[in-house]
Amino acid sequence: MQTLAARERSAGGRVSVRTYFAAKDALVGGRGKKAVDYVSTTVDGTDHDTLVQSVEVWEEIFSSVR
């Protein structure tokens, strides 16, 4: 990842993360859809250093624990 990030910085580009999930998966089967949830959230008013201090983030993390 460090090498990829360094290459992207030197090229002036951005790193894009794309995820793909198969409609059917013979290896994992139907359980795969039950095993992976992907959520991305931008928390307004935070930066790299303050995100972890956000009460909103911690409330969401703890409320999602089952």
Q: For the residues of 2-44, what is the DSSP string, one character each?
A: HHHHHHHHHHT----------S--TTTTTHHHHH--------T
Pairwise CA distance, residues 14 & 6, whole Å: 11
Q: What is the pLDDT of residues 3-60, one digit of tens each?
A: 877 877 787 766 677 777 677 777 766 666 677 677 778 899 999 899 989 998 899 8
Q: How far is CA 20 from CA 7, 23, 33, 47, in A?
A: 23, 10, 12, 28
pLDDT at residue 41 in the model = 85
- Token pair, residue 30, equals 């139907």
User: In this structure, are residues 8 and 14 in contact, taking their beta carbons and an 8 Å threshold?
Assistant: yes
Rounded to two decimals, what is the model's pTM? 0.43
